[in-house]
Structure 1
Amino acid sequence: MVTELNRIRLVVLDMAGTTVADGGLVEQAFAVAAGELGVEPGSADHAEKLDYVRATMGESKISVFRHLFGEEALAQRANSAFEKAYGELVDGGRIEPIAGAREAIGALAETGRTVVLTTGFARVTQDAILDALGWRDLVPLTLCPADAGGRGRPYPDMVLEAFLRTKAAEGVQQIAVVGDTSYDMLSGVRAGAGVVAGVLTGAHDDQALRAAGAGHVLGSVAELPALLDGPALLDGPALRDGGGR
Structure 2
Amino acid sequence: MINLGITLAVMDMAGTTVADDGLVERAFAEAVGAVGVSTSDDRFPAMLDHVRATMGQSKIVVFRALLPETEAQQANSAFEAAYGRLVEAGHCEPIPGAEQAIKDLRAAGVKVALTTGFARPTQDAIIAALGWSDLADIALTPADAGRGRPFPDMVLTAVLRLGIDDVRHVAVVGDTPSDVVSGLRAGASIAAGVLTGASTRSEFEAVRATHVLESVRDLPALLS
TM tier, shorter chain? over 0.9
Q: 1:175 aligns with which of 167, 170, 174?
A: 170
CA–CA distance in structure 2, aligned partners of residues 171 and 213 of structure 1: 21
Q: Does residue 42 of the first structure (1) align with residue 40 of the second (2)?
A: yes
Q: Does residue 81 of the first structure (1) align with residue 78 of the second (2)?
A: yes
Q: Which residue of 1 aligns with 2:62?
A: 64
Which amino acid is the alignment partner of residue 203 of structure 1? A
Deviation, 1:64, is 0.1
CA–CA distance in structure 1, aligned partners of residues 203 and 123 of structure 2: 25
Q: Does residue 51 of the first structure (1) align with residue 82 of the second (2)?
A: no
TM-score, normalising length: structure 2: 0.97
Q: Does residue 163 of the first structure (1) align with residue 159 of the second (2)?
A: yes
Residues paired across the two proteins, number: 224
Q: Which residue of 2 aligns with 1:234?
A: none
Q: Which residue of 1 aligns with 2:150?
A: 154
- Give runs of aligned pairs for residues 77-116 of structure 1, distance below 5 A: 77-116=74-113
Q: Which residue of 1 aligns with 2:220?
A: 225
Q: 1:120 aligns with which of 92, 101, 117?
A: 117
Q: Which residue of 1 aligns with 2:131?
A: 134
Deviation, 1:155, is 0.3
Deviation, 1:2, is 7.5
Q: Which residue of 1 aligns with 2:17?
A: 19
Deviation, 1:156, is 0.2
Q: CA RMSD in A?
A: 1.2
Deviation, 1:50, is 0.2
Assess, with a 3 A threshold, how the Cα gap between structure 1 residues 227 and 2 changes in structure 2: closer, same or farther.
closer
Deviation, 1:213, is 2.5
| Percent of aligned positions that are identical | 59
Q: Which residue of 2 aligns with 1:205?
A: 200
CA–CA distance in structure 2, aligned partners of residues 34 and 75 of structure 1: 9
Assess, with a 3 A threshold, how the Cα gap between structure 1 residues 50 and 101 changes in structure 2: closer, same or farther.
same
CA–CA distance in structure 2, aligned partners of residues 40 and 135 of structure 1: 35
Task: Find runs of 4+ consecutive structure 1 residues off by over 6 angstroms.
Answer: none
Q: Which runs of 5+ in 1 are unaligned?
A: 230-245
CA–CA distance in structure 2, aligned partners of residues 146 and 40 of structure 1: 29
CA–CA distance in structure 2, aligned partners of residues 86 and 170 of structure 1: 36
